[in-house]
Amino acid sequence: MPSIKEKYEKYRPKKFLGQNFLVDENIALKIVKSLNVGKNDTVIEIGPGQGILTKHFLSPDIDFTAVELDKSICLKLEDKFKEKLILVNCDFLKFDLIKFTNILPKGKKLKIIGNIPYNITTEILFKLFDTADKIDTAVLMMQKEVAQRLKAKPGSKEYGILAVQTQVNSKPEILFNVSPGSFFPKPKVESSVIRLSFSNINYGIINKEIFRDLVRSSFGQRRKTLSNSLKTFFQNPELSGYKPEFDYGRRAESVSIEEFVNISNKISEHLLINSKNNYLSSHVKKTF
């Protein structure tokens, strides 16, 4: 009987792509069950790797698509699963998720699963947040430290842009941790499986672009007070000197999501009243 190394070495994991293949069948099954997939659900898998999660979704009752960047992996998956698998060979960050969700039947939402590359976790999450209203649930494997940041609360050192944007778009829940021994090759970090539930999340944000720019600018210089970190933000000529009343002597890490929403909405209302609907962020400092 071949060892795990012998069994999976043929896939030749590429370090520059962040490939650490999940090889523990028990963990894989726990992840699959956590997504709660039913008949007629539409599912996308990010980075199927050698197919340990993929094989559980190849039912005629499930509309399943896998997105994989590595061409050599795609060829092996096509050979393994034949015509049962719909496989898109591209970088998920370039995959047109908006177009994909727009062709879903009315009222139908997407479910997402994946052991995602740890080096682009943040970029993947923000791509999902851009279509949050079209997603039902995402179950993702990621670095344990990053998973904890998604749930961080104001006042903690982990609280930042990622925590705020995650929590205004979804309800994050860490399901369980996974040891390095469950992967090949073994990563140098602990991993966690997290479930993001996108339904019934509504903070009443008037303009998501303004909210996003406000949060980015606030945490751009997190050791400084908001007076300093938001200086460039409020110099945007479209605001015409408007600045909502708030204690700008505080640091961003102490500001709750509700407070960020309140500031953002006051700015949005001001722009609407002054007929400045085309909010431009060219003068707002980007922090990532």
Q: Hey, which residues are catalytic here?
A: 47, 68, 115, 118, 183
C-alpha–C-alpha distance, residues 259 and 26, integer Å = 42
Residue from 159, 161, 96, 169 nearest 137 by CA: 169
**Of 44, 43, 4, nearest in space to 24 by CA:** 4
Rounded CA-CA distance 27/117 in Å is 17
Return the half-sphere exposure (C-beta side, CA atoms, 13 A cut-off) of residue 38.
4
Distance CA 120, CA 213 (A): 21
CA dist 88 and 91 (Å) reads 9
Task: Check if the beta carbon of residue 275 is closer than 8 Å to that of residue 204.
Answer: no
Nearest CA to 59 among 85, 29, 25? 85
